[in-house]
Structure 1
Amino acid sequence: MKINKCGWCLGDDLYESYHDQEWGKPVYDDQTLFEFLILETMQAGLSWITILRKRQNYFDALDQFDIHKIAGYHPDKQEELLQNKGIIRHKLKVKSIVTNAQLFLEIQKEHGSFSEFIWGYVDGKPIKNRVVNYRESPVNTELSEQISKDLKKRGFKFVGPTTVYAFMQATGMINDHEVNCFRYDEV
């Protein structure tokens, strides 16, 4: 029996596994939200599959995405990351990992958790779109533009409206599964 899936993931086992198990599933855990924030910011200008294939490398290089450790990375650790062939070696992106970790911690102090802060934009509930074909899904919205502006005002880097929208899709703040996809009603 054929299972309907979103068209964007078809034909690549890693993509399909990510789609089937993670993409669009609401995430309220700060650690996982931080991981997705970092991965989405690393994606800026690149394809998601590129980052997905390097995900384990990021996990290993970034102390399992330990926010507190990353926030304390000194320039020598950043230089070490720039030499790591398993991740994207873009100087400003590597620097943004540390900056964004520090700011993530500030939001946790201010709001109790990053989850409370970010999910507050959607009143704690996913926005459920009715995407028929993934090609019709927007790349950003007024809401992702607003969140982007708010994050940038706080000092976050590589958080443009398109990156924020992708983050919202990945973490289930927005359900952009195609309506005929088996995951549409599951998430």
Structure 2
Amino acid sequence: MKKDALLDAAESLLFEHGTQALTLAAVADRAGVSKGGLLYHFPTKEALVTAMVARVIAEFDELIASFDDGTPGGYDRAYVEATFEILTGEARAYRRWSAITAAAGDPELAAPLNEAMARWHGHPKGHEPCGEDPCGEDPTGGDPVGSMVVRLAAEGLWEVVSHAPELYDRAQLEAVKQRLLSLLTR
């Protein structure tokens, strides 16, 4: 059994039944493997949660990198594109929610997600933060507050879709994505 299938099983348990359902026995049962088979890959629940968190971070980082063309505003556009790639992908919208939920009770498990979130909502690699005046000069040539608003809107939509995936259809999500991207070009 591949690790990803075990992580998928853990995520679906969390999404369907909450944190109390995340036990190694339940994950093994959901994945259709013996508990020993699960323990081979994840010897503890903490190791399982750590892997869930790492997968969420790596997946989003890879998507952002794949969309970032390196031009001014490219990171912000890539952030939006990556978010919507996940929102419209099969069973991926709740992946981060599951990882956050699983790690929430332990600051050590949540730390990598917190660090990634700070990085995702900061400036692109190689740019200094704006400091106390977020409306100051942006080295990318864009609007730092507008970029912040767009990223926060994408985060909010991600949260909503994580809990109610049927709320918006593909056409509605595409319309929201295009509107967010257009806000970055103003």
TM-score (norm 1): 0.25
* Structure ID, larger Rg: 2
TM-score (norm 2): 0.25
